[in-house]
Amino acid sequence: MEVPEARTWVIFYLLSFVVLLVATFITSQNDGQRWISLMLIIVVVGVNLCLLISELKRYQQRKAFMHQMSRFDETGTDTDSSGRRW
C-alpha cells in the first residue's frame, strides 16, 4: 500500500470510529433509539467489510499481474531469429 492510500485509510477509520462512538452515545441515552445505533454499527461494519474485500481482490489481481509479467520476461519472446533483442 502506497503512502497516499494509507492516508485515505487512516481518515476513513477515524471517521468510522467517530460513528461508532456516536452509536454508543445514542445507545446510552435512550432505549427508544437503539435501532439508530444498531443501524449505524451495521453500516460501518458493512462498509468496512466491503472495502476490505475489494482491497484484497485488488491486491490479488496486482500480484497475479506481476507474476504474469515476471513470467513474460523469463520466456525471452522479444528476441528475433538471430538472438538479438529488439
Q: What percent of the chain has pLDDT over 70?
A: 70
Residue 76 has pLDDT above 60, yes or no: no
> What's the per-residue H, E or C state across the chain?
CCHHHHHHHHHHHHHHHHHHHHHHHHHHHCHHHHHHHHHHHHHHHHHHHHHHHHHHHHHHHHHHHHHHHHHHHHHCCCECCCCCEC
Q: What is the pLDDT of residue 62?
A: 86
pTM score, two decimals? 0.59
